[in-house]
Amino acid sequence: MVITESELNSYLAYRLETEREEITREIHIKLLERNEIEGKIVIDLRNQEIPKFLKPLMNFYFRGRLEVQEGKAKLDLKKLFLENEPIPPMVLDLIIYISAKIEKTEASSINDWYELPYGIDSIETHSGWLALFY
């Protein structure tokens, strides 16, 4: 199955809206060749109690490689920025941890492998589109 970058971003926006995500306000993905992706994630912590060193509204920009293996996937981050400043991935793990506590779910890590939706064995990205293999 082939999905365009536009369709993927529309789906992500739909999921954020319908799931009434409290923290993540926006996700935008740019699909590149050989499972490389770039993206932007907007995190809104304005109504939350957070450590003083975190900004309440944050724009993260990233570049990485989507690794797919045995029906699971993870993002191997190559670059991560908060606004224009490079930051270590552990900052994103802290945001994930805070989000999990707010939503009363189990915390995970950006380095974790995640199960692909049922039936999907693999994903391949190309410039502007991706292929899902069943």
Instruction: Say if residue 43's pLDDT is above 80.
Output: yes
Helix (H) or strand (E) run with residue 43 in it: strand 36-44
Residues 6+ apart with CB under 8 A from 23: 43, 44, 45, 48, 95, 98, 99, 102, 103
DSSP one-letter string for 9-34: HHHHHHHHHHTT-SSEEEEEEEE-GG
What pLDDT score does 100 carry? 83
Give domain limits for the chain: 2-68+116-133
What pLDDT score does 77 carry? 94
pLDDT tens-place string over residues 85-122: 999 988 888 888 887 887 788 888 888 999 999 999 99
pLDDT tens-place string over residues 19-40: 888 788 999 999 999 999 999 9
3-class DSSP state of 60: strand
More confident residue, 105 or 83: 83
